[in-house]
């Protein structure tokens, strides 16, 4: 049902607020669904709501372990905002790079 609602919102160019409302409703029902958070994060980035996208990552991190997707995702809002250096710093902090180079 959720996927169909999102398809309709996109196809009919409905306001992003409707998509946000739908995602929030589904997350309330399935708070541990990593894929749902991933889709929501991508939706928020596509709609230019960078702060909200970062908040979604924070919410997920509080209740779950951070997977590779979420470690990598931390830098995406910065990159989208034009801060490539900031994104690289976030990526470097999120991963243990000592195993890849001499520290």
pLDDT at 24: 94
User: What CATH number is associated with residue 9?
Assistant: 1.25.40.10
pLDDT of 18 above 80:
yes
Q: pTM to 2 decimals?
A: 0.72
pLDDT at 103: 45
pLDDT of 43 above 60:
yes
Q: Are 21 and 27 in contact (CB under 8 A)?
A: no
Per-residue pLDDT of 47-57, as tens digits, reads 888 889 989 98
Better pLDDT: 47 or 14? 47
Q: How many domains does the chain have?
A: 1
pLDDT at 94: 66
Domain span including residue 8: 2-99
The torsion angle over the Cα atoms of residues 50, 91, 33 and 24, rounded to 10 degrees, is: -10
């Amino acid at each position: 049902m959720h996927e169909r609602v999102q398809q309709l919102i996109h196809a009919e160019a409905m306001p992003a607020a409707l998509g946000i409302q739908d995602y929030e409703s589904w997350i309330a029902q399935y708070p541990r669904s990593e894929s749902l958070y991933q889709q929501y994060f991508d939706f928020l980035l596509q709609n230019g709501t960078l702060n909200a996208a970062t908040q979604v990552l924070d919410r997920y991190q509080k209740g779950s372990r951070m997977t590779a997707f979420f470690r990598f995702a931390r830098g995406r809002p910065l990159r989208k905002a034009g801060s490539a250096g900031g994104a690289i710093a976030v990526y470097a902090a999120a991963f243990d790079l000592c195993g890849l180079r001499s520290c």
